[in-house]
């Protein structure tokens, strides 16, 4: 039996890049896939590729940032494939600017696509799964979110993107804590791979180019997709509330914020006392990873 046989997934932003790779890998492992992308031709090409290899997939072009339209995406999956088990929130955009030059629109566009986009479909899927659980059915469902190294440690020139991706990481922790009672897991992935966005940067395009000698393609997006296929499977029912980083053949878990031992005076501090105290705490703490680009 294939890893994802008899399971149904919605994958957003699946017309290209990581989303297309996820869709093809999922389908290759037996999953029925709703290929969601606002670019119909791109989504159709992915679906045709999947179907040509014997897989099951359909096109959906609804706007993931529209709450009502997102309900339609969930209903499309259920009506076409008689169920839904997995939501992969992958769709995203960039509006890179230094913070001092960033416009309100630059900020709002990123928050809408990333944070609201992660909320809308997941909200409707969770309501569907919760209703099944309350009706006594066994639910084995997955939410897989997409964060970024920018969200985990910051990135120069991407304060909007970093803030949204950090929000997605925190959202994942909340979803895992709240939804486990219904048989739903929530995890996030911080991927590094060759996509349209990365290849638009000349330096990255050279670094991430596919090797011509047939050696291991380190930056192939499928290297990330196989981790998602595992997380989407029944085998990963015990894995929830984790943020994974994936690059090439390397997989690791990103640790979150942790409270240090600190200093307790058992009384109110005088501000004049805090200089040495704060300096001591900083010296004793484990430094955060450097902000990308700094």
Calculate what percentage of the chain has a pLDDT beyond 70: 97
The catalytic position among 165, 233, 240, 242 is 165
Domain count, the chain: 1
Q: How confident is the model at residue 167, as a pLDDT?
A: 97
Lowest mean pLDDT among 69-83, 148-162, 185-199, 224-238: 185-199
Q: Does residue 116 lie within any of the structural domains? A: yes
Residue 38: per-residue pLDDT: 97
Give pTM, 2 decimals: 0.94
In-domain check, residue 259: no
Q: Which residue has better confidence, 200 or 192?
A: 192
Q: Is residue 270 part of a domain?
A: no
**Is the pLDDT at 280 greater than 80, yes or no?**
yes
- Please give the pLDDT value at position 200: 59
Give residue 187's pLDDT band: very low, low, confident or very high (50, 70, 90).
very high
Q: Is residue 288 part of a domain?
A: no
Average pLDDT, the chain: 94
Catalytic residue among 71, 122, 128, 161: 161
pLDDT at residue 214 in the model: 81
| pLDDT in the model for residue 243 | 97
Q: What percent of the chain clears pLDDT 90, i.e. is strictly above it?
A: 85
pLDDT at 213: 83
Judge whether 196 lies within some domain: yes
Of residues 70, 122, 148, 159, which has the active-site annotation?
Answer: 148
For residue 36, give both structure tokens: 């969601």
Cα dihedral 65, 70, 73, 75 in deg (nearest 10): 180
pLDDT tens per residue, range 3-53: 999 999 999 999 999 999 999 999 999 999 999 999 999 999 999 999 999
Per the structure block, which two tokens stand in for 65?
Answer: 């940032």
pLDDT at 147: 97
For residue 105, being part of any structural domain is answered with yes
In angstroms, the CA 36 to CA 54 distance is 19
182 in any annotated domain: yes
With contact defined as beta carbons under 8 Å apart, do 117 and 213 qualify? Answer: no
Q: Give a yes or no: residue 33 inside a domain.
A: yes
148 part of the active site: yes
**Domain interval for residue 127:** 8-253
What is the pLDDT at residue 244? 96
Q: How far apart are CA 5 and CA 10, in angstroms?
A: 15
pLDDT of residue 92: 93
- What's 151's domain CATH number? 3.40.50.720
């Amino acid at each position: 039996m294939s890893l994802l046989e008899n399971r149904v997934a919605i994958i957003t932003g699946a017309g290209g890049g990581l989303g297309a790779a996820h869709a093809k890998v999922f389908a290759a492992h037996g999953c029925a896939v709703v290929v969601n992308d606002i670019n119909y031709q791109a989504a159709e090409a992915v679906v045709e590729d999947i179907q040509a290899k014997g897989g099951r997939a359909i096109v959906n072009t609804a706007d993931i940032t529209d709450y009502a339209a997102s309900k339609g995406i969930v209903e499309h999956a259920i009506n076409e494939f008689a169920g839904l088990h997995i939501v992969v929130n992958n769709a995203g955009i960039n509006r890179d600017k230094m913070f001092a030059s960033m416009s309100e629109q630059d900020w709002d566009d990123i928050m809408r696509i990333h944070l609201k986009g992660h909320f809308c479909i997941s909200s409707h899927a969770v309501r569907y799964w919760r209703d099944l659980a309350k009706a006594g059915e066994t639910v084995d469902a997955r939410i897989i979110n997409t964060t970024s190294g920018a969200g985990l440690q910051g990135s120069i020139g991407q304060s909007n993107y970093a803030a949204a991706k950090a929000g997605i990481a925190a959202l994942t922790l909340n979803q895992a804590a709240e939804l486990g009672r219904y048989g739903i897991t929530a995890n996030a992935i911080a991927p590094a791979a060759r996509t349209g966005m990365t290849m638009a940067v000349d330096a990255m395009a050279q670094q991430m180019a596919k090797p011509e000698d047939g050696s291991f393609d380190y930056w192939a997006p499928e290297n990330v997709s196989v981790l998602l296929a595992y997380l989407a499977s029944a085998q990963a029912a015990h894995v929830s509330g984790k943020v994974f980083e994936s690059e090439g053949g390397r997989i690791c878990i990103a640790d979150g914020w942790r409270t240090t031992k600190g200093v307790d005076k058992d009384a109110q501090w005088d501000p004049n006392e805090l200089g040495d105290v704060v300096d001591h705490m900083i010296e004793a703490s484990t430094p955060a990873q450097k902000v990308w680009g700094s």
